[in-house]
Amino acid sequence: MKVSNILYICTMNYEEAKIKFVSTWGSLGTLWGINKAMAQIQALLFVSTKPLSMEDIMEQLKISRGNTSMNLRQLMDWGIVTKEIIPGERKEYFTTEKNVQELARTIAKERSRREIQPVIKVLKEVSSIKDDGTEKTKELIKQTKALYELTETADDMINKLVNHKQNWITKSLFKLIK
């Protein structure tokens, strides 16, 4: 690590740190097929001490009203952001799940449902074609079946890990696996 970086870290203040966190989370999202604004809105809510209005979000992230509205809806569809009604206020306010374990659980469940399950379905279909005895058909069946099994097992595993309500960040569980 360069000395300049170390100095920078040591002098990072609240605003800088927050911006760094939100923007990094945003690019991570992009890398994982989640759009930047969506990831940034979630990040912003995640470190906010109180619910934020659409105005707040628009202003802090410098994004349009439409963009904010659409991405908040998506986050609500994913089940990780909720509307908060503040008595006496006309505006809508938003919060995200603050518990990282719960957050991970929800995301894993949704991704499984939206992305993994459809693939598992196709793998099952493809691996179930009639074996006509040719080498290439045998290979297709064999390989897609292996992929099917791996995908299903990995999916099950992630869901089990993540559904394990009790703190799954435990040394004991590690020991069993390692």
Gyration radius from the chain CA atoms: 22
- Tell me how far CA of residue 23 lies from CA of 7, 18, 37, 80, 88, in angstroms: 20, 8, 9, 19, 33
The distance of closest approach from Cβ of residue 90 to a second copy in the complex, given in angstroms and rounded to an integer, is 25
Report if residue 3 touches a second copy, rule: CB under 8 A.
Answer: no
Report if residue 46 touches a second copy, rule: CB under 8 A.
Answer: yes
User: Two tokens at 97?
Assistant: 């799940």
Sign of CA dihedral 29, 33, 36, 38: negative
Nearer to DNA, 36 or 111 (CB): 36
Nearest Cα to Cα of residue 127 among 112, 149, 157, 154: 149
Select the binding partner of residue 73 from a second copy, DNA, none (C-beta < 5 to 8 A, by kind).
DNA
Q: What would the x/- binding string for a second copy be over residues 69 to 108, using CB under 8 A? A: -----------------------------x-xx--x----
CB under 7 A: which stretch of 9-17, 28-36, 126-134, 135-143 binds DNA?
28-36
Nearest Cα to Cα of residue 94 among 23, 34, 39, 46: 46
What is the rounded distance in angstroms from the CA atom of residue 82 to the CA atom of residue 72?
A: 9
CB under 8 A: which stretch of 13-21, 53-61, 68-76, 79-87 binds a second copy?
13-21
Nearer to a second copy, 91 or 160 (CB): 160
Q: Which long-range contacts (CB under 8 A, 24 or more apart) does 143-148 make?
A: 147/123, 148/120, 148/123, 148/124
Residues engaged in binding a second copy (CB under 8 A): 9, 12-14, 17-18, 20-21, 24-25, 28, 30-33, 46-49, 98, 100-101, 104, 115, 119, 122-123, 125-126, 128-130, 132, 134-137, 139-140, 143-144, 146-147, 149-150, 153-154, 156-157, 160-161, 164, 169, 173-174, 176-178
